[in-house]
Structures are given as structure tokens and as C-alpha cells.
Amino acid sequence: MSAEGPTCPDTNPAEGVPVPACARNGPVSHAIFRVARLHRMHVGQLLRRVGLHPGQELVMMHLWDRGPQRAADLVRLLDSDAATMTRTIQRLEHAGFVRRCPCATDKRATIIEPTAASLALRQQVENIWTELENRTLGDLTAAERTETLSILERIEHNLIRAATQDD
Amino acid sequence: MSAEGPTCPDTNPAEGVPVPACARNGPVSHAIFRVARLHRMHVGQLLRRVGLHPGQELVMMHLWDRGPQRAADLVRLLDSDAATMTRTIQRLEHAGFVRRCPCATDKRATIIEPTAASLALRQQVENIWTELENRTLGDLTAAERTETLSILERIEHNLIRAATQDD
DNA sequence: ACGAATTGCCTGTCCGAACAAGTAAATCAG
DNA sequence: CTGATTTACTTGTTCGGACAGGCAATTCGT
């Protein structure tokens, strides 16, 4: 059985990464996929230590940064989904990192504010981002880091342009 | 209210991207995050046209590539989760792209094989990867594409090393 | 051959993300 | 002022991903 496989003994032994056929049509896309996956794993691992789930830390950082916000503001800031934001806030509230106060001037709106308890998290989260950056960049020189950032921003720009332009 | 915000009027008008405080500690990490997000959006958009959800296409490509596989093989190939694979296969089976046959030699195992109907998808999925790569790379020259791939692979290697090494 | 691990798969739970739909409040047009 | 529209938020559903169990079949050690 398994009587197939004329194509591709496609496993890259150097990394632990099986390379599917997609790599042929889009090697960079596949690399982005793998890097993003690893990156998310690291974020998740680091955040779990402080009791946060990936995504929640972004909400908290914006709150620490800009102070109390309406839920809708957070949605716009994170370019997220209102539904996702509602539930993320509910979980942060349940975890005690966030408080929800009805807005005085607009009864539809809810003001989200970081609790005092959350302030203890702030330094930890910033350390996490530093640690994450170190793990990501590893041995890259300063010049290479600049180059990396430049390339990523060009890719970002390409993807934004492709999204708005056509389809 | 919203009586805060001495820090950072942090929105980058060039791109539609709000820049949270994290960017200070990890500009490259944040760029990876944004690129990954956009990249995933494009994959999702392209895949929806052919009736697949992100992630399902990888299973199908491995099946097309290597022929019928056990579920456990797919888990290892995609470095995925057995539970996730079970449900992904159930959905692909329900969609008619995959068939599940009990393995003759090991009664625990299930052989997953692509259906004839799925073969019509294959070319479409390959086109999607080509289109995705084009959107991603946009105007980059051949040399720049090589450079990009090289950098991404170095980052990948850094992250793998950081994961296995410490913690 | 027998019991103990291991392997393969499934289920339930919790999380984020996206989409659709609905409710309430505010705003706008006539 | 009334009716339509927009805005803010919530809920429900479906998806992938991760983790914790659980069951059955297989393999290993004795």
C-alpha cells in the first residue's frame, strides 16, 4: 500500500518541515505560512505563562497605550471583528484584566478600561515582545534586521494593494 | 471620557495599520503578524471560491501529492493535531473531496484518499497558490524574491532553534 | 501468553476568526 | 416630529487550532 509517490520525497531534513506540492507554485507563500505558524506558536507559549491567549495581548496593549476605549474603537484599532472583540473583552473581563463601564453620553457604547490588576501584566507583556523579537531575529545583524523589516513591509504593501485593487 | 492618550497618535496613514505599543519592542514580529494576517485573508478569499476552508487545501495537496494516507500520516506531514485532522477530514469527507476506508492491515487506522471529484480541484488549488504568490511578491525582482525566501528561511530556522533549544 | 506501554482515532472543551442576523440607541431626512 | 438609516454591541454558527481525556487495536517486555 501507499503505492504512490513518484513525485517528491519532499521532506526537508534540515528543518522539521514537510514540503507539500504548494511549495512549487509558491515557495515564499509557503515560507510565510511556516514562519507565521512558528511565530504564533511562540507567542502562544510566551503568553500562556502570564495567563493570556494570543490576541488578547493586543487589546491590552492598546488599552495600556491609549487608555479606556469604546469597544468599537478597539475594533477599528485592531482591524478586528466586532463579534470577536465582544467575546475577547468578555474573557478579559472574566479574567479580571478589563472592566466594562456603560458610556454616559452614548447608551449604546461600552467603555473598556484596564484594571489595576492588569497593570502588573504590562511589563511582562512587553518583555514577551522583546523575547519574541529575539527568538525571531536570532543571529541577524542590525543591517539584516533593517532589510528584513523593509522586505516584510513591501510584502505587506503588496498584499494590501492586491486586496483593495482588484477583487 | 477617553481622557487619555498622551502617548502615541500611532496610526500609520500610509498603510491602514494601527501601530500598537508592541511595535516598539518588536517591529519585525509585528510586521510578521500583519503580513501573516493579510496572507491568511488572501488564502481564505481565494479558497472560498473553490469551496475550501484554509487548512483543508493543505490536506488535499498532500493527498494529491502522495496518494492515500493514514490520518496519522497526514497529522505528521502537516505537523498538525490529531483532533484537528479528524474534524478536517470529516468536513472534507462531507464535502465529497475525500473518502475514508478502513485499513486492512491495521484495524485502528483509516486510509484517507482523494475522491475523483477532488481531482477537478487540484488545478484550481495550484492556480490559487500561483495567484497568492503573485499577490505576495508583487513587484519584487527575481533577486529580491530569492533574498526574501532566504530571510524567511533564516527566521524559520531561528524560531525552530528557539523552540527546541530552551523552554 | 500475558500485562503494560504505545499508537490511532474520536470526543469534548476552550480559544480566536469570520460571517450573518438581530436589538437598541443615535442620527439624519422629510 | 416621524420614519429611515447608521452605529454599537450581542448572539449564533462554522471553521481551524490546541489541549485533555477516552477507547480500541497493536506492540513490546517478560
Asked whether residue A1 carries a pLDDT value surpassing 90, the answer given is no
Q: Which nucleotide is nearest to A73 (CA to C1')?
A: D8
Check B25 against A78: CB less than 8 A apart. Answer: no
Using the Cβ of A99 and the Cβ atoms of chain B, whether some distance falls under 8 Å is answered with: no
Which of A137, A120, A118, A156 has its CA nearest to residue A39? A137
* A109-159 pLDDT per residue, tens: 999 999 998 988 898 998 999 999 999 998 899 999 999 999 999 999 998
Asked whether residue B114 carries a pLDDT value surpassing 90, the answer given is yes
Q: For position A167, what pLDDT does the model report?
A: 52
Which of A47, A55, A19, A38 has its CA nearest to residue A138? A38
Using the Cβ of B29 and the Cβ atoms of chain A, whether some distance falls under 8 Å is answered with: yes
Residue B102 in domain: yes
Residue B149 in domain: no
Provide mean pLDDT across the span A74-98: 90
C-alpha A125/C-alpha A52 separation (Å) is 9
CA distance A94 to chain B (A): 23
C-alpha B26/C-alpha B60 separation (Å) is 35
Domain count, chain B: 1
Which of B21, B160, B8 has its CA nearest to residue A128? B21
Provide mean pLDDT across the span A12-33: 72
> Helix, strand, or coil here: B158?
helix
Which residues, other chains included, contact B10 with Cβ-Cβ below 8 Å and sequence gap of 6+? Answer: A65, B18, B19, B20, B21, B23
Residue A17 — pLDDT band, cuts 50, 70, 90?
low
pTM, full prediction:
0.85
Which of A155, A30, A38, A167 has its CA nearest to residue B130? A30
φ and ψ at residue A110, rounded to 5 degrees? -125, 130
Residue B32 in domain: no
> A–B: how many Cβ contacts below 8 A?
246
Q: For position A160, what pLDDT does the model report?
A: 87
Residue B106 — pLDDT band, cuts 50, 70, 90?
confident
Q: For position B167, what pLDDT does the model report?
A: 53
Note whether B20 and A145 are within 8 A (CB). no
Residue B127 in domain: yes
> CA(A12)–C1'(C30) in Å?
69
Q: For position B9, what pLDDT does the model report?
A: 38
Strand D within 7 A of B82 CB: yes
* B81-96 pLDDT per residue, tens: 889 999 999 989 988 8
Which residues, other chains included, contact B166 with Cβ-Cβ below 8 Å and sequence gap of 6+? Answer: none
Using the Cβ of B102 and the Cβ atoms of chain A, whether some distance falls under 8 Å is answered with: no
What are the chain B neighbours of A57 within 8 Å (beta carbons)? 22
Q: Which residue is nearest to nucleotide D25 (CA to C1')?
A: B108
Cell of A155: 510584502
Residue B156 in domain: no
Note whether A138 and B162 are within 8 A (CB). yes
Residue A47 in domain: no
Using the Cβ of A75 and the Cβ atoms of chain B, whether some distance falls under 8 Å is answered with: no
Write down how long chain B is: 167
Structural domain span for residue A111: 52-131
Q: What is the CATH number of the domain that holds B100?
A: 1.10.10.10
Residue B98 — pLDDT band, cuts 50, 70, 90?
very high
φ and ψ at residue A112, rounded to 5 degrees? -105, 130
Q: For position B18, what pLDDT does the model report?
A: 65
Residue-wise burial string across A24-56, b where 16 or more C-beta atoms lie within 10 A, e elsewhere: bbbbbbbbbbbbbebbeebbebbbeeeebebbb
Note whether B158 and A139 are within 8 A (CB). yes
Share of chain B above pLDDT 70, in %: 87
Q: For position B20, what pLDDT does the model report?
A: 74
Q: For position B17, what pLDDT does the model report?
A: 55
Asked whether residue A6 carries a pLDDT value surpassing 60, the answer given is no
Residue A166 — pLDDT band, cuts 50, 70, 90?
low
* B35-84 pLDDT per residue, tens: 999 999 999 888 888 888 888 899 999 989 888 999 988 998 888 888 99
Check B29 against A129: CB less than 8 A apart. Answer: yes
Residue B27 in domain: no
